[in-house]
Amino acid sequence: MFLHKQIIAFRPDKSDLIFAIKTYIAAMLSLFIAFYLNLSYPMWAIGTVYIIVTPFSGTVSSKAVFRLVGTLLGGAVAVLLLPKLINTPLSFTFVLALWVGFSLYISLLDRSPRSYIFTICGFTTVMVVATSINSIDTVSVFDTALNRILETSIAVVCVALIFSILFPKHIGPVIKLRVDNTLKDSKELFTQIMHNQINQESSQTLINKLTKDVSELHVLAEHLGYEKSKFSGMTKPVQEILNQVTMLLANITTISERFKEMDHYDLAYRSVLSSLHDQVLNYLSQLHSDHQINLHTINQAFKIEYKNIESLLRAEQRIMFEGVKMDIRHLIQNVFYIREIWASILDGKKKLPKNIISPLTYYPILHRDSGFAVRSGLAAALAIIISCFIWIFSGWKYGFMMLQITGVSACILAAIDNPVPALKMFVRGAFYSSILALVYVLFILPSVKEFWQLALVLAPPLIYLVTMYAHPPLNGLAMPITVSFAMSLNLQNNYNIDMVTLIDTCLACIAGPIISAFSIYLIRSFTPEQSVKRILSQHYKSMYSSIYIPYGVQFRIHLRKMLDRIGILNSKAIPSIELRKKANEILIESCTTIDLSRLNDLQKRFQLSQKLKSRIWLLQSILDKTFRKLEKQLSIDLNDKNELIYSIQKLEKEAMLEDNIEIKNRILISTHNIRHGIIENL
């Protein structure tokens, strides 16, 4: 698919043009310096610019730093490996494949910007050793690695410099807007729930959007340390806001679920619910930074509203409303903390307010898929092996470039569920860039004598293609065309037009992604359904872990990880109606883990009768067994479900005999929430 309709309809705006021109200036500056220093492969410098560039200065700077570190490490590994293995091609092939696969595996386990180090490290080793072998008689591996490091350094410095000086676009204001919108959406959701103005579908859509926003904000926040806006260095406070928003979403979701259950019995209480909503917002508006939040005294602020509501409740609704009261207390605490942290950030303070203790040292523990990372590493290793074997047994001179492109294409798209379509687009882009390169080599470059002439003739395609970078799906075609075109020209100080070299280079740029696509297709290409099922399986693994986690800081970290997983899930296209329904239900299940943790706290920290403790322990063991079963097959039979219901009934019956009203209510609230939030969805 050439995307001709989208290309014809595409009209770059002002920001696209500014971004493209800045990128072009950085590319030409890096190319000029590479020429001036008479480096061996100036194409690496210009190609690096077009690979790492993004609209935001902070993102560009972070990628530049980590790319440079990754290049240094990759070059060092190449210098260590090649002299020892150069005379044993098969051993060299398997060691190189193992290194690339391992580097990619480590990279995919880390969702911070520093993961870029390991991605770059892996394929830089490939690029250095391939070039060294191709020039083994004239250039040492150390000199090749040094050239690669110099060319990369020139590229990243030029990009970081240009994007910091010329109309810098900071990521901080974007985060501010996204956080403000997230808080606004949370307030709107709470208002709609309290006024019964939202249906199930729209409620789920808004909650899914909020979880997705939290996941995306996490990625953006990690780049704050690399820019010069007033939000520079605010990564930890923003991450703590996301922790609090996670808890806030859990509270709003459980409040919504309790009201839905209460509505099944009677709607009379709805007539006075709006006054509680108004009082909650009024109470929040009166809180100041010197105010000390006390969960046990918050109920006193809403005593009249609670009394009015309780007078209209039926007996079956009372325990549900006790759960609502508990969630409102925690909601107020979360909103207060969010406002405090956000005000501190806007004042330029990098430390959290004294009354807020963060569970984070620096980086939150979020969703990781080790199975996905293993299969991605194996696919990359297989691609390297195939490419090396083709090079070795064919004797093709430009097999070294095919190996380089294979290493790059197998790594840079590895985070996608199914990179095969993107790699097919990459192949198309390489083909189209070959045609463009042929036109330049045959008709344009022969007339170029000076660098300014070269810069002038390269400007139209390079600027136009980069304007598409921010526009899916055009970016999937524009980037490979741009990078392949810049690399295929193989510009040198003493440039000679060689059609055989050009054709070989173009063939290598096409063959590399084909090999990567084939390897990924064999080992780790996931359909959307398979990807969703993997996430659901990991969700249930986290569910049985929740049973034994104490309620507090450790639980907040765990819930953040679970809701982050849901945010990732909500970013995927789920064609199956059944899986989409299940994906919506796991948010409610995740929020109900609060009650699993609270039951564990009751058992461990309170003086309960031995019989009550044994009933809680029995429910925990059955839940553990159920979640482990769901982890493997995503469904349970009716007998398992009935066993859970029977265990909860026994616990509730025992709790009714408890003399301590607080303990009794807490157990009944938790068991009710577990029944309706988890068991009914199974």
DSSP per position, 40-67: S-HHHHHHHHHHH--S-HHHHHHHHHHH
Domain annotation covers residue 363? no
- What is the distance between the alpha carbons of residues 419 and 539, in angstroms, rounded to a whole number? 24
Domain count, the chain: 3
Token look-up 């009354």 returns 355
- Of 494, 523, 552, the domain-final residue: 523
At 99-151, the pLDDT tens digits run 999 999 999 988 778 888 999 999 999 999 999 998 888 888 999 999 989 99
Q: Tell whether the torsion through CA atoms of 436, 491, 472 and 115 is positive or negative.
A: positive
Mean pLDDT of 554-567: 83
Domain shared by 379 and 494, yes or no: yes
- What is the distance between the alpha carbons of residues 652 and 645, in angstroms, rounded to a whole number? 11
- Listed residue (392, 428, 390, 389) closest to 409, CA to CA: 428
Q: How far apart are the first and last CA of the chain?
A: 42
The pLDDT assigned to 543 comes to 92
Asked if pLDDT for residue 369 goes beyond 90, the answer is no
Domain shared by 646 and 512, yes or no: no
Asked if pLDDT for residue 5 goes beyond 80, the answer is no
Domain shared by 472 and 567, yes or no: no
CB count, 10 Å around CB of 572?
13
Q: Which two tokens stand for residue 400?
A: 């070294």
- What is the distance between the alpha carbons of residues 674 and 56, in angstroms, rounded to a whole number? 44
Mean pLDDT of 435-447: 90
Quote the DSSP letter at residue 226: G
Q: Do residues 74 and 118 touch, judged by C-beta distance below 8 A?
A: no
Q: Do residues 74 and 123 touch, judged by C-beta distance below 8 A?
A: yes
The pLDDT assigned to 295 comes to 61
Domain shared by 447 and 532, yes or no: no
Asked if pLDDT for residue 362 goes beyond 60, the answer is no
Domain shared by 94 and 32, yes or no: yes
Task: Tell me the Cα Rg of the chain.
Answer: 29
Domain shared by 394 and 478, yes or no: yes
Domain annotation covers residue 655? yes
- What is the distance between the alpha carbons of residues 566 and 215, in angstroms, rounded to a whole number? 9
- Listed residue (120, 90, 85) closest to 103, CA to CA: 120
Half-sphere exposure in the Cβ direction for 605 (13 Å, CA): 12
Domain shared by 512 and 542, yes or no: no
Q: Which two tokens stand for residue 48?
A: 């690096």
The model's pTM:
0.84
Domain annotation covers residue 292? yes
Percent of the chain residues past pLDDT 70, beyond the cut: 95
- What is the distance between the alpha carbons of residues 673 and 545, in angstroms, rounded to a whole number? 18
Asked if pLDDT for residue 361 goes beyond 50, the answer is no
Residue 174 pLDDT level (bands cut at 50, 70, 90)? confident
The winner for highest mean pLDDT among 74-78, 427-431, 559-563, 606-610 is 74-78
Asked if pLDDT for residue 194 goes beyond 60, the answer is yes
Residue 614, Cβ density class (10 Å: 0-12 exposed, 13-18 middle, ≥19 buried):
middle
The pLDDT assigned to 521 comes to 92
Strands (E), 358-440: none
Domain annotation covers residue 291? yes
Domain shared by 314 and 430, yes or no: no
The chain-wide mean pLDDT, for the chain, equals 87
Domain shared by 162 and 182, yes or no: no
Q: Do residues 118 and 103 touch, judged by C-beta distance below 8 A?
A: yes
Query: Could you tell me how many helices (H) and strands (E) the chain has, helices first?
Result: 26, 0
Distances (CA, A) of 29 to 42, 49, 157, 463: 11, 10, 10, 15
- What is the distance between the alpha carbons of residues 256 and 447, in angstroms, rounded to a whole number? 71
Residue 368, Cβ density class (10 Å: 0-12 exposed, 13-18 middle, ≥19 buried):
middle
Would you tell me the crossing angle of helices 370-394 and 399-412 to the nearest 10 degrees?
170
Percent of the chain residues past pLDDT 90, beyond the cut: 35
Asked if pLDDT for residue 494 goes beyond 80, the answer is no
Mean pLDDT of 465-486: 90
At 268-289, the pLDDT tens digits run 999 889 899 999 888 888 877 6
- What is the distance between the alpha carbons of residues 287 and 613, in angstroms, rounded to a whole number? 39
- Of 523, 539, 574, the domain-final residue: 523
Domain annotation covers residue 354? no
Domain annotation covers residue 355? no
The pLDDT assigned to 239 comes to 84
- Listed residue (473, 570, 476) closest to 531, CA to CA: 570
Q: Do residues 665 and 622 touch, judged by C-beta distance below 8 A?
A: no
Domain annotation covers residue 362? no
The pLDDT assigned to 490 comes to 82
Domain shared by 183 and 146, yes or no: no
Q: How many residues does the chain have?
A: 682
At 82-96, the pLDDT tens digits run 998 989 999 999 999
- Listed residue (620, 455, 617) closest to 545, CA to CA: 620
Would you tell me the crossing angle of helices 553-570 and 528-546 to the nearest 10 degrees?
170
Q: Do residues 107 and 116 touch, judged by C-beta distance below 8 A?
A: yes
- Of 488, 523, 558, the domain-final residue: 523
Helix residue ranges, H only, 86-140: 89-109, 115-134
Domain shared by 15 and 102, yes or no: yes
Asked if pLDDT for residue 3 goes beyond 90, the answer is no
Half-sphere exposure in the Cβ direction for 366 (13 Å, CA): 24
Domain annotation covers residue 318? yes
Domain shared by 25 and 129, yes or no: yes
Q: Which residue has the higher pLDDT, 490 or 292?
A: 490
Residue 199 pLDDT level (bands cut at 50, 70, 90)? low
Lowest mean pLDDT among 149-153, 215-219, 457-461: 215-219
Range of the domain at 582: 528-681
